Structures are given as C-alpha cells and as structure tokens.
Amino acid sequence: MDLEQINSPADLKKMPVEELPKLAAQIRRFLVESLSKTGGHLASNLGVVELTIALHYLFDSPKDKILWDVGHQAYVHKILTGRRHLFPTLRQYQGLCGFPKMSESVHDCWETGHSSTSLSGAMGMVAARDLKGEDFKVIPVIGDGALTGGMALEALNHIGESKSDMIVVLNDNEMSISPNVGALHNHLARLRINKSYNKMKDEVQHLLKKIPTVGVPFAKTLERIKDSLKYLVVSGVFFETLGFTYLGPVDGHQFPELMEILRLAGKTKGPVLVHVITRKGNGYKPAEDDSVVYHGVGTYKIESGVFKKKGGPPSYPDVFGKTMVRLAEQDDRIVAITPAMLTGSKLDRFNEKFPDRCFDVGIAEQHAVTFAAGMATQGYKPVLTIYSTFLQRGYDQLVHDVCKQNLNVVFAVDRAGFVGEDGETHQGIYDISFMRNQPNIAIMMPKDENELQHMLYTAVQYEDGPIAIRYSKSAGVGVPMDENLKLLPIGKSETVRNGRDAAIIAFGNMVQPALEAAESLQLNGFDVRVVNARFAKPLDTEMLDQLAAERIPVVTVEEAVVAGGFGSAVLEYYQEKEVYDLPVKIMGVPDVYVEHATIAEQRRETGLTAENIADAVNRLILQRNPENMRA
C-alpha cells in the first residue's frame, strides 16, 4: 500500500506494520513538496510523522479523541484523515485550515491555534465521558513548548488528582519556536538523558519506601538520592508526583518502541504521560539544521530550502526590532520581554546586543504581563512585545497588575489587525476593545513604519502609566525613515489631507486606504479630509469638536472589531458632548470570525478596502446633500 491509498485511519490500519516506515517517508516527501508551494508550519509537522501514524494506527479516531495542542503540527493528522488532496489550498481563502477545524472533519475533535489548551479540553472530555459511563480514549498531544503554558500546568494539576484514564503524549523536541526555555524544559532535559528511566525508577521507589514518612529526613534522603543519581535522577517523578504514570522517554521516530509504549499506555489505568522524543524538522535537512527558521515558512526551493525572496519596504516588526536596539543603546532602563516569540517579534538582534535585558519567559503571557509590571515598579522601562492575539491570554494581568497600578509598561502589540494565513485564532482585532476600557492606558497605532519609530520613542519616554503601540505584521508603506526620532504629543491626531465635504478619521494602517479613498472621491468632485487618528485613547477631542463645529460628516475606519473599538470611542465622545445631529459612520470588522486568507482578502471580506471606504463616504455625503447626486 502507498500514501495515495490512505484516505482514512481505517485504510491505514490495513497496512502491515513493517510498511509504516515507508509510509512515513512518503508523508515527509509530500509535506516538503506541498509546503514548498504553499508555505505553512513545516518543521513541527516533519517532527510528528511517525507519532501521528502510530496514534492513528493504534487508536480509533474519531471514537478515540486525539487533540493537537497549538495544532500547527496537525498536517499529518489531516493527511491521514482524508484531506491530503486539499493541501494545495493550505491556509488559503476558503481552503484547508492550518489548524484543526471541526467543520473539516469528525477527526478534528478540538480546535486549537493558541497554545496549551489541549489538556484542559481533554480533561473536560474525560470528565464528561466518565459521567456518562462511556468508553473511549482521550489523547492530547502537547509539545514541550506548549507545556510551559500556564493552562497546561493547571490542567496537569487537575488531571493528576482526578485519576481519570487519559493518555497525555508529550512531544518533546527541545524546541518551542526558538529553543525552549524554563525550568520545566531543563527538567525534561534530564529525562532525555536518561534512557533507562524505568529501571532507575524501580531502584528509587525501593529507596523511597525506606524513607521515614514525613519531614526533614524525607527531604534529606531525597536530596541524597538526587545527588547520587545526578542527571539520571528520576526527575520524571515530577509527573508521577502529580499522579501520572510516566512512560518513556521513547524515540518518536522508531516505530517498534513507539508502538510498544503507546500500546502499554492504552492498557494503563489512570492518567498516563508518554514522553516522546522527536526532532523538529526531521527528515528535511534545512529544517533539521534550523527549525526556528523552518517553524513557519513561506514558499521555498525544495533542493536548497532557499525561500523565495519577498522584496519591498521593511515590515513593521522589522522597524520595531531595529528601533528597540537604537533606543536601548541610549536608555539602560529599557528591557524587552517576549512570551516565546523572540524571532517573530524581531528581537533577535536586541537579544544578541543586550542578553541581560531580553527576557523570553516561554509560552506564558499571563506571567509576561505581570513580570513586566514587577520590573516597572523598580524603575525599569519594560517593553512587552506580544502578539495582539496572545495578549488576550494576559488580559486580567493587564487590568489588575498594570493599569490599576498605573505602571510604566509599554505594550508593543505586534500582529495587530489582520494576520492573514493564520486565520481566525490569530487575528489581532480585539485588543483596542479590551484595552480601551481601562482608565489609565494610552493606545496608539502608526500610519506607517516611519511613525512607528517615533511612537516607540514616545512610548519609552512616557511616564504617565501604561501605553500600548499596536502595529501590523505586514510590510510598511514604503516611506522614508526620519534620521531623528521625535516625541509625539499624546492624544493628538494629524490631518494628512484637507477637505470640507466629509472627514475620514483612520486609525493606524487604515490611513493609507483612507487616502486612496479620498483620492478617488476627488474624481467625483468631493473634497474629503483624512485624519490620522494616532490615538484610540486618549482621543483628540479638539479635532472631534472641530469636526462637529464644521458639521462635517465623519467616517471612522479601523482594522479591528467595531464593538468597543476606535470608532465606538468617537461615538461615545459625541454622545457625551450631546452632539446628536452629526452623521458618523463606523467602519471596522463586523461580528464574525475572519478565517485564513491573505490580508487583502480579509479586508475585502470585511469591507475594509479603499473602495468600501469611498463608498461609505459617498453615501454619507449624498444622504446629506441629495442635490450632489450626480447622474
């Protein structure tokens, strides 16, 4: 049998077990070829080929529930569950999603995209199963990176105590996106060293039994055990102490051992943790050599792994990373904090130059926010660089630990707005709404990459509490970069185009399309003002009062949800000032989840193009002055 004949786990189970290595090779070749044309998460998927085959070979999805933490490594699962033919549409408009998606297959029992949710979801399924007296396996597959996420540890705590039957598969490749970090990671390292853990465990259990039951003798004896066993010590007891049966470590690329340990896990009562050692990028040398670069890839040449170059202006994250280095050279108070997105946030250079002032805290956004708050209390200027979508994880910390205490934390909210191919789980479109309701925070967004450097400079000089700069992942507009950085007046907008028939107040990366809309309206004889809002909080109330005084109809536009966004702030202001007769139209993301596509397609889908803006302004003007209606 060949890969072409595998369209379901049932087909896979017909394959003789000795043919599985050949199938693994075919799947690897398929992944490398397909993703060379579409891009996607290559290295993580290459690392789980044998593991995914073994899970679908031994267990019975969809009756047995296999959950994929983060879900970026679920391509092999999708190949084995009848979606191979959809891979040419991977992460494209109305194509195959890059993460598990229930609407795609019954085998996708749990949707992911954000890290560290699989164990909690699995525990929920297990509790329901046991309440109903049903009988199926629940198998969350979680990476060593995702295991550093707070939610995962909360779930381990609950699962261990519950004593419920569950098979947790820990896919340990020593990598998050960057090399994994943290004490837990170091802890796993000890296990990786020790191949004879189970034998060692018996010896230690024997020793432990001799220990007096409580108090100092216990601790001293345990210390003695650790010292004597050094790195071969049963740090795996960590999982066992939590109530798991720990199995492993096992080589995740060798079928015989892998199948045997998974069979054993399937027969073991209570919570089991199978520690699988894999290599991220396995089987494709460029990805093996650099799994950071090949974690998420664009299109590339298969033989060399060389990416097809994208020219054009620097991206907003590029400009952010460069400006951070420049500012940190002048200001020792500046520290950078990232929750496991060092490379994505373009902090590599900063980390090289200021290793003591760059903190990768792992996939731990809640901790990252409050850690930043702690540093701010001691006079540092923490710049917490965090994707908008992942800041959602640290919301209570933003409220309770930063804003309420009014601490000088800079939130560098990266990937703000549409993110393109990562789709609905990663869109950066909610942060204005969830930050704006906090009394002490200032929120700004640059119209172009040049203004981003000025905003970052302004933010690190700002001493009146928390301030957020949000910026897109995309390339900048292509404007020249000023040599000297300048402070921007807080809460002040900038009129970038004059006009008296209407005004478009655009936030951040919507200024460009607003200017294009105004140009096209000029052709209709309409003279439209464009204002670069710069701040969603505090608002430029002088500018708003001026528009009200001139009775100019207003369209606001932002690449973020309408609910609670920038436009809502403008409306709330006019309501508060009892300005009732000024036409104000808010343009933003409607009440929908915006699926994977290009950013341009996502703007088209949500009505946020220059054409849509021009249309909205046109309608507003004509509504007020029907005589302007042109034949």
Ligand X SMILES: Cc1ncc(C[n+]2csc(CCOP(=O)(O)OP(=O)(O)O)c2C)c(N)n1
The answer to the question of residue 473 lying near ligand X (CB under 6 A) is no
Active site residue 630: no
What Cα–Cα distance (Å) separates residue 360 from each residue in 3, 185, 298?
40, 13, 25
Out of 129, 280, 381, 497, the active site residue is 280
* DSSP structural state of residue 423: G
Least separation, in Å, of the C-beta of 416 and ligand DXP? 11
Active site residue 542: no
User: Can you point out the beta strands (E) in 81-200?
Assistant: 138-143, 166-172
Binding partner of residue 73 among ligand X, ligand DXP, Mg ion, none, CB cut-off 5 to 8 Å per kind:
ligand X
Candidate list 176, 427, 433, 606; residue touching ligand X; CB under 6 A: 176
Out of 65, 322, 393, 534, the active site residue is 393
Least separation, in Å, of the C-beta of 414 and ligand X? 12
- Cα dihedral value 311, 314, 315, 321, nearest 10: 140
The answer to the question of residue 540 lying near ligand X (CB under 6 A) is no
Give the nearer residue to ligand X in terms of CB position, either 28 or 114.
114
Candidate list 56, 65, 72, 534; residue touching ligand DXP; CB under 6 A: 72
Binding partner of residue 558 among Mg ion, ligand DXP, ligand X, none, CB cut-off 5 to 8 Å per kind:
none
| Of residues 325-384, those binding ligand DXP (CB under 6 A) | 344
Tell me, letter by letter, the H, E, C secondary structure of 453-513: HHHHHHHHHCCCCCEEEECCCCECCCCCCCCCCCCCCCCCCEEEECCCCEEEEECHHHHHH
Candidate list 283, 296, 305, 565; residue touching ligand DXP; CB under 6 A: 296
- Backbone torsions φ then ψ of 119, nearest 5 degrees: -70, -40
User: Can you point out the beta strands (E) in 93-237?
Assistant: 138-143, 166-172
Q: Which residues lie closer than 8 Å to 187 by C-beta, 6 or more apart? A: 235, 238
What Cα–Cα distance (Å) separates residue 545 from each residue in 132, 538, 570?
62, 14, 11
How far is the C-alpha of 285 from the C-alpha of 156, rounded, in Å?
Answer: 35
Residue nearest to ligand DXP (CB): 344
Structure tokens at 275: 């520690």
Least separation, in Å, of the C-beta of 278 and Mg ion? 8
Structure tokens at 497: 């185009």
End-to-end CA distance of the chain: 68
Give the nearer residue to ligand X in terms of CB position, either 175 or 334.
175
Q: Is 598 exposed, middle or buried (0-12, 13-18, 19+ CB in 10 A)?
A: middle
Residue 611 sits at the vertex; the CA angle it makes with 610 and 614, to the nearest 5 degrees, is 85
Least separation, in Å, of the C-beta of 622 and ligand DXP? 41
Give the nearer residue to Mg ion in terms of CB position, either 126 or 169.
169
Any known ligand binding at 107?
Answer: no
Number of residues that bind ligand X (CB under 6 A): 22
Number of H helices, E strands in the chain: 25, 17
Candidate list 83, 473, 529, 534; residue touching ligand DXP; CB under 6 A: 473
Any known ligand binding at 465?
Answer: no
Binding partner of residue 296 among Mg ion, ligand DXP, ligand X, none, CB cut-off 5 to 8 Å per kind:
ligand DXP
Any known ligand binding at 311?
Answer: no
User: Can you point out the beta strands (E) in 132-262?
Assistant: 138-143, 166-172, 245-251
Stretch that binds ligand DXP, among 216-224, 415-423, 485-493, 517-525 (CB under 6 A): 415-423
How far is the C-alpha of 516 from the C-alpha of 511, rounded, in Å?
Answer: 9
**Window 156-185: contact mask with Mg ion (x via CB under 5 A):** -----------------x-x----------
Least separation, in Å, of the C-beta of 90 and Mg ion? 21
Out of 111, 365, 424, 559, the active site residue is 365
The answer to the question of residue 415 lying near ligand X (CB under 6 A) is no
Active site residue 415: no
**Among candidate residues 307, 306, 318, the one with its CA nearest the CA of residue 347:** 318
Give the H/E segment covering residue 601: helix 599-605
Any known ligand binding at 596?
Answer: no
The answer to the question of residue 73 lying near ligand X (CB under 6 A) is yes
Binding site for Mg ion (CB under 5 A): 143-145, 173, 175
Annotated binding site for thiamine diphosphate: 72, 113-115, 145-146, 173, 284, 365
Which residues contact ligand X by CB under 6 A? 44, 47, 70, 72-73, 114-115, 143-146, 171, 173, 175-177, 280, 340, 363, 365, 390, 393
Q: Which residues make up each annotated binding site for Mg(2+)?
A: 144, 173
